[in-house]
Structures are given as structure tokens and as C-alpha cells.
Amino acid sequence: MSFMSGTTRKYSISMPEELAETVRAHTGPGGFSAFVTEAVARHMERMRLRELIEQAEADHGPVSRQAVEEARALLRNDAADSAADVYESPATADDVRHADTKAAA
């Protein structure tokens, strides 16, 4: 389920003034609603994920620390591969990897 599709409706919310002004300073005059919408949608997705994890752990027991670390390693590798794909033009992914290796040396 995507929270970002469908019709929109105007709501009135209350939040600390300092927080609202900080958001407005970062988003500009037309980006406040989009910023709040994205933040709320992300929070809802995390809540749903937490519920799924809790249900899976209730059904199958807790996930081991080792399994979590293995999954994180896979995700980091996928993220690195995706980042390399983004930067293939004009340099190739190998160029980016070699530049990172040279910079680290």
C-alpha cells in the first residue's frame, strides 16, 4: 500500500513553531506539505514493518544477531551496487570503485 498516491485533502496540524520554521527554511515556500507527507508516510511504513517483524517473531521466534548482521551485509552490498549503477555515466562502475580504492590508500 502506497501512502503517496490518491487524492489529497487539506488538514490543519499543530507542531512546535521552531520545528515548523526549520522545515520551512529547508523546503522553501511550496515544499512544506510534501516534506510533512513524506515524513508521515515513512513513519507509517516503519510502524507497519515493526508490526510485521513482531508478528514474524511471534510465529517463528526471534531472529538471531548473526542473521541480522548477514542481512545487513547483503543490503550494504546491494546499496553499493546500486550506487555504482547510478554513477556509471560518464565513468564506469569500475572507475568509481578504483577511485574509491585509490582515495582510501
Q: What is the pLDDT along the chain (105 residues), one digit of tens a residue?
A: 566 678 889 999 999 999 999 999 999 888 999 999 999 999 999 999 999 999 999 999 998 999 999 999 999 987 677 666 555 555 555 555 555 555 555
Task: Supply the pLDDT for residue 36.
Answer: 95
Rounded CA Rg of the chain: 20
Global pTM?
Answer: 0.59
Alpha helix segments (H runs only) across 1-105: 17-27, 32-60, 65-86, 93-104
